[in-house]
Structure 1
Amino acid sequence: MNQRSHPQGNIFSPSAPTPTASHASDVEREIALSHYAAGELAQAETFCRGLSQRYPRDGFGWKVLGATLRRMNQAQASLEPMQIAAKLMPGDWEAFNNLGTTFDLLAQAEHAQACFEHAVKLKPDFLEAWRNIAENLRRQRKLDQALQAYRRVCALAPEDGYARHMANTLAGETSERAPDGYVIKVFDDYADAFDTHLTTSLQYRVPEELVALLARVAAPAANTLDVIDLGCGTGLVGAAIAPFSRTLTGVDLSARMVEKSRERGVYQRLVCDDVVRMLRLQPDHSADLLVSADVFIYIGKLDELMAEAHRVLRPGGRLAFSIETLADASGQTHRLERSGRYSQSRAYIEDLASKGQFVVEAAEPCTLRKEVDVPVPGHLFVWHRP
């Protein structure tokens, strides 16, 4: 029930109700928590409303009620019970973190930050609140402070790949690839809104454009190719390449993305794994086409992937992919950008093709997406394996 309070001002404005000094019993608390943990949110709401009426000065019922309403996507309704819980339990770091989460959802970043900071004053090693502090500061573009908070998260949880990648990003330190934990968190969280946000808000057209380029260059016949979609996401590439595929396999590190791809019904096989690990397990000369749209932006250094691609492709097979183009490379092969994604230089890509014994059949500049109405430059490639 750790979610994303204290401070000054009137953020605790609702006064806790008056009457009795009695508290919920252990059995009542267990019932409330069991409903919440099991996702029985309607039952949890009803039960906790009863607790808050019977024991109005016991913060527990208010705390679980607020968390339940927030989980039911009722952020505004959750605010008052969370405020009451924090007021009744001034030493409860979870209550303050929960209240901060609600302020965050209500786009009240300064109130949220004050709540999170109070939570870590109460419990300096409270990991969830530190994560919330870091994310809140990053969204406010207070990047130096966000970097320090991410570093605190890394110190508390060295295995947190998301925090490590964000710290590298804000510090301008280029790594070889994004940690699995970063990719999984980003895309599991993003899965439900992915298609709409990409195609509408970001004007993303890479899957269609990449498959159209492949069709112009290679003119594949219908239903003839054994295809592996590297980083299949929600299946946008799969839907575009399906008319040419005899078999279509998708692989993605995010389980939520794999679920979305499965819903499209165009893949014969779906694998939840890292794309390089998955390629290592494929037999030699077992695919006609490897396609990867906006995936190398999370890998950075591509040497091993390209070597595995050459091994897995049959002679005459092709690799079609996109990159975010690194401007002003100054000798760099790839760079971790402030967006958290990697760009690669044209020289690096051309060198990989030469070393990997690929023939570059097409290399076209494109706009990958728009971010804050600014075009993100990239390239589409089709390589041939002789």
Structure 2
Amino acid sequence: MHPTQFSSGDVIADRRADYARMLAENGEHEAAVELMEQALDLVPDWPAGLLRLADYAEKAGQADKAVPALRRLLSLDREDLFGAQLKLALLGAEEVPDQPPSRYVEALFDDYADRFDTALVERLDYTVPAKLARLIADHDDRRFERAVDLGCGTGLFGAEIRDRVTRLEGFDLSVNMLAKAEEKGLYDLLAKADLSLDPAGAGLFDDELAERRADLVSAADVLMYLGDLANAFSLAAHLARPGAFFAFSVEDAGEGDGYLLAPSLRYAHTERHVRQRLAENGFDVLTLTRTTIRMDGGKPVFGILFLASRTA
């Protein structure tokens, strides 16, 4: 169940929220706001209700109602399961955070896992895994001894690279996505890890999982769920042997420095930010290509595919 569908525990409040949802689906956002306010009069500390109120208020152009609802939600939910901080940043009420809340990303993909492949590949024309595998092969068609697939999801990139890898490891924040990857039988190891954390806390290293063990590290359509790439690239550097490849994608933020938070609540990164973080962590860019990485709302989402190499 998606978090926005969580019940308030009050039958009348839930009924009003259901009516509000139907109004919102018909584009009647101001009326939906009024009904959600009535529901929250009955259950003031209903997190999912506060999120719905904020969403409807934003679409109605009522930021004066959306912002307090999100602030109240954040005070009730310190782990920020609902991504309130990101939504406040989009409304200009908070600074854009360096990273999204891990619990928000985990819940997002736990909910998405069962329909991920169908939605992404068939409906959104998602092509990053195949394009990234081709970028690697076009540069060097060698076989890899050990590949580490960061943010492996359901294993879409693993399927593209499996026949060129002796040992394939996959790590993801979502246990439901890992379960879907397990069903495909592609990986020699699957485990939970948080790429937003530093190498000591991410979950990629222990007595059996040594540093500098990979000659290929990948991150296909993962880094858009991170802001500043410093920690993610530090993880890649700790995994990569000298001369190892690091293949990954980002959404393209265009010219300038840094990164931005898009209305999709995903991050886009500038080429300059990516190059800076790569250099800081001992990677040289071998090649890059700009491409459409998926569709979103019927419009193309533009990205950059990178292939870098770990210096000795």
TM range (shorter): 0.7 to 0.9
How far is the alpha carbon of 1:204 from its aligned partner?
A: 0.9
Measure the CA separation in 1 of the matches of 2:116 and 2:50.
27
Instruction: Look up the match of 1:169.
Output: 90
How far is the alpha carbon of 1:337 from its aligned partner?
A: 1.9
The Cα offsets for residues 156-178 of structure 1, whole Å up to 9 and x where unpaired, read as: 33332422222223327321111
Instruction: Look up the match of 1:99.
Output: 15
Q: Indicate if the aligned counterparts of 2:50 and 2:69 stay in contact, CA closer than 8 A.
A: yes
Q: 1:181 aligns with which of 80, 83, 103?
A: 103
Matched, 1:118 2:34: no
Q: Indicate if the aligned counterparts of 2:4 and 2:51 stay in contact, CA closer than 8 A.
A: no
What percent of counterpart residues are identical? 32
* Partner SS, residue 265 of structure 2: coil
Instruction: Look up the match of 1:195.
Output: 117
Q: Indicate if the aligned counterparts of 1:360 and 1:381 stay in contact, CA closer than 8 A.
A: yes
Matched, 1:128 2:48: yes
Name structure 1 gaps, 5 residues minimum.
5-66, 68-91
Matched, 1:379 2:304: yes
Instruction: Look up the match of 1:346.
Output: 271
Runs of 4+ in 1 over 3 A off after TM superposition: 1-4, 100-103, 105-115, 135-138, 140-143, 145-148, 279-282
Measure the CA separation in 1 of the matches of 2:145 and 2:34.
56
* Partner SS, residue 343 of structure 1: strand
How far is the alpha carbon of 1:105 from its aligned partner?
A: 6.8
1:143-292 → structure 2 map (5 Å cutoff): 144=63, 145-161=65-81, 162-171=83-92, 173-221=95-143, 224-275=144-195, 276=197, 277-279=202-204, 281=206, 282-292=209-219
| Letter of the 1:98 counterpart | D
Identify the range of structure 1 (176-185 vs 97-106) with the bigger mean alpha-carbon deviation: 97-106
Q: Which has the larger radius of gyration?
A: 1
Measure the CA separation in 1 of the matches of 2:159 and 2:22.
34
1:77-92 → structure 2 map (5 Å cutoff): none
* Partner SS, residue 232 of structure 1: coil
Q: 1:303 to 1:93 in 2, by over 3 A?
A: closer
The Cα offsets for residues 229-281 of structure 1, whole Å up to 9 and x where unpaired, read as: 11111111111111111111111111111111111110111112213403355
Measure the CA separation in 2 of the matches of 1:251 and 1:141.
40
Instruction: Look up the match of 1:294.
Output: 221
TM-score norm. by structure 2 comes to 0.85
| Letter of the 2:175 counterpart | A
* Partner SS, residue 155 of structure 1: helix
Identify the range of structure 1 (359-368 vs 346-355) with the bigger mean alpha-carbon deviation: 346-355
How far is the alpha carbon of 1:108 from its aligned partner?
A: 5.5
Q: 1:280 to 1:97 in 2, by over 3 A?
A: farther
The structure richer in strand per residue is 2
Q: 1:320 aligns with which of 247, 251, 265?
A: 247
Measure the CA separation in 1 of the matches of 2:211 and 2:287.
25
| Letter of the 2:87 counterpart | M
Q: Indicate if the aligned counterparts of 2:146 and 2:214 stay in contact, CA closer than 8 A.
A: yes
The structure richer in helix per residue is 1
Measure the CA separation in 1 of the matches of 2:230 and 2:224.
14
TM-score norm. by structure 1 comes to 0.69
| Letter of the 1:129 counterpart | G
Name structure 2 gaps, 5 residues minimum.
none
Measure the CA separation in 2 of the matches of 1:254 and 1:197.
17
Q: Indicate if the aligned counterparts of 1:163 and 1:182 stay in contact, CA closer than 8 A.
A: no
Q: 1:99 to 1:359 in 2, by over 3 A?
A: same
Measure the CA separation in 1 of the matches of 2:9 and 2:166.
56
Q: Indicate if the aligned counterparts of 2:13 and 2:43 stay in contact, CA closer than 8 A.
A: no
**Pairwise CA RMSD:** 2.6
Measure the CA separation in 1 of the matches of 2:87 and 2:211.
36
Q: 1:273 to 1:307 in 2, by over 3 A?
A: closer
Q: Indicate if the aligned counterparts of 1:317 and 1:385 stay in contact, CA closer than 8 A.
A: yes
How far is the alpha carbon of 1:219 from its aligned partner?
A: 0.8
How many residues in Structure 1 have an aligned counterpart in Structure 2?
295
The Cα offsets for residues 4-55 of structure 1, whole Å up to 9 and x where unpaired, read as: 5xxxxxxxxxxxxxxxxxxxxxxxxxxxxxxxxxxxxxxxxxxxxxxxxxxx
